[in-house]
């Protein structure tokens, strides 16, 4: 119980929570045990239901979970989760888990906090919580926040939203490795993965990309340590191919860290382009440089610590052949891997994200030379962060036009020529892509 509460508490502070779980359970000697499997199932369910769990806590106790210590907040969430649904766990174990966690909470905080945890659990068993209203019921059924449901329903229709929810809630997301052609081949990497006992196959959509299913120890996987592969989802790896990179070109990556796309552009140019990698945080730049050294692409990469919101003041205007812009976004395309992301988005946070995305895209246009191209991409399923940002720049800037994309994924249902990848259609992360070109001067 102590180990599990520790996982719950520290997974709030460090992401991804899967890494926290492995480290904590390993320290307690529980990694790979039956407890590991049970705790993993509970943990995924907890984060998939987090917003609903917080709502129930507030309704039943009057407390705001956000104002509580992390350990107590997670203990209350666990109590609600296990009262509402116990994924693959028998009731006796559930009772022991709730009481054991409550006991630890009582020792760490106050005795009444322990009683609060147990009381909430028993109260929900006696008087079960039921959603009220259409959106409440859909949130509970689909395990998606209403801000996501409303937007996806308008874009796809409710039946396809159900398929999307099933994909991100029950399917195990496929993992991917981009093969570094400067150092290796797809055949070599497939052979190495087979040696590790991992099921793997070449991507059918993206060149030099390998998809795999199973557990791979990155700290010991030789091709990764030697820079022969870069961990990258298929939908992320396609970005470099959509933008392209040629010898002698000047290219900017405006939100560059951790460097997967930056190093890919350098690789595509055969280390004969100049890739300016702009990143706001110095520690993330250090990670990018480490990856560039490992992949052998550092010779063509110029890392710069700076804000993409001021890109045209930091970099030469009108000089760049290509610009990659993958700005901070809601990450709603990756909720299969990061289930808590579906609940942390609010209308105000979305508004701030979109405002910055528009400003960064404007800055990207300022950097381009006539005939130059921008790839705007976000790991988001929300039209506000994709189609609407691109529609805005096309309206505001008459010197740019949309270059139609013809695969490998599906055309956007809202903007002809733009493209989207979907978890339920393509088995990959949800991404939006739009390729823009600066018109030649008259």
Q: What are phi and psi of 304, to 5 degrees?
A: -135, 130
**Secondary structure percentages of the chain, helix, strand, coil, to 5:** 55, 15, 30
Question: What 3-state DSSP class applies to 324?
Answer: strand
Is 329 part of the annotated catalytic residue set? Answer: no
DSSP code at position 440: P
Task: Name beta bridge partners: 201.
Answer: 211
Task: From the candidates 379, 400, 415, 419, give the one annotated as an active-site residue.
Answer: 379
| In contact, 252 and 323? CB cutoff 8 Å | yes
β-bridge pairing 250-253 and 274-279: parallel
Q: How far is CA 104 from CA 71, 257, 351, in A?
A: 10, 40, 40
Q: How far is CA 345 from CA 44, 102, 144, 226, 252, in A?
A: 18, 30, 11, 38, 29
Place of tokens 């933008």: 243
**CA 384 to CA 306: how far, in whole Å?**
25
Q: What are phi and psi of 198, to 5 degrees?
A: -105, 135
DSSP labels for 330-352? --GGGTTTSTTHHHH--HHHHHH
Helix 17-27 vs helix 34-48: crossing angle, to nearest 10: 150
**Nearest residue to 200 (alpha-carbon basis) of 214, 185, 212:** 212
**CA 67 to CA 79: how far, in whole Å?**
18
Number of CB atoms found within 10 A of residue 162's CB? 15
| In contact, 235 and 428? CB cutoff 8 Å | yes
β-bridge pairing 320-325 and 250-253: parallel
Could you list the active site residues?
A: 379
């Amino acid at each position: 119980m102590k180990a599990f509460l520790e996982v719950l508490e520290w997974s709030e502070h460090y992401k991804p929570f899967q890494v926290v779980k492995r480290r904590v359970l390993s320290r307690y000697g529980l990694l790979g045990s039956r407890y590991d499997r049970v705790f993993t199932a509970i943990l995924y369910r907890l984060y998939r239901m987090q917003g609903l769990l917080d709502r129930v806590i507030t309704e039943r106790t009057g407390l705001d979970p956000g104002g509580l210590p992390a350990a107590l907040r997670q203990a209350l969430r666990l109590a609600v989760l296990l009262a509402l649904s116990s994924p693959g766990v028998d009731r006796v174990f559930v009772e022991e888990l709730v009481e054991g966690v409550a006991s630890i909470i009582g020792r760490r905080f106050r005795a009444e906090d322990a009683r609060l945890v147990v009381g909430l659990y028993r109260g929900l068993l006696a008087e079960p919580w039921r959603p009220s209203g259409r959106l409440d019921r859909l949130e509970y059924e689909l395990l998606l926040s209403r801000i996501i449901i409303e937007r996806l329903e308008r874009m796809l229709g409710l039946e396809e939203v159900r398929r999307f929810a099933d994909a991100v809630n029950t399917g195990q997301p496929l993992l991917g490795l981009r093969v570094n052609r400067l150092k290796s081949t797809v055949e070599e990497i497939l052979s190495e993965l087979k040696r590790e006992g991992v099921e793997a196959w070449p991507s059918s959509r993206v060149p030099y990309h390998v998809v795999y299913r199973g557990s791979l120890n990155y700290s010991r996987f030789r091709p990764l340590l030697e820079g022969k592969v870069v961990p990258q989802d298929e939908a992320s790896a396609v970005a470099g191919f959509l933008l392209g990179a040629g010898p002698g070109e000047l290219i900017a990556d405006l939100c560059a860290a951790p460097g997967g796309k930056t190093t890919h552009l350098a690789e595509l140019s055969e280390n004969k382009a100049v890739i300016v990698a702009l990143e706001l945080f110095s520690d993330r730049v250090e990670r990018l440089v480490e990856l560039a050294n490992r992949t052998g692409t550092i010779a063509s990469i110029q890392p710069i610590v700076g804000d993409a919101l001021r890109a045209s003041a930091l970099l030469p205007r009108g000089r760049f052949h290509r610009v990659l812009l993958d700005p901070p976004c809601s990450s709603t395309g990756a909720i299969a891997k990061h289930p808590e992301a579906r609940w942390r988005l609010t209308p105000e946070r979305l508004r701030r994200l979109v405002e910055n995305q528009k400003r960064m895209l404007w800055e990207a246009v300022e950097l381009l030379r006539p005939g130059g191209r921008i790839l705007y991409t976000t790991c988001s399923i929300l039209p506000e962060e994709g189609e609407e940002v691109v529609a805005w720049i096309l309206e505001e800037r008459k010197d740019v036009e949309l270059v139609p994309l013809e695969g490998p994924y599906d055309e956007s249902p809202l903007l002809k020529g733009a493209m989207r990848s979907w978890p339920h259609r393509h088995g990959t992360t949800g991404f939006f892509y739009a390729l823009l070109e600066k018109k030649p001067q008259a």
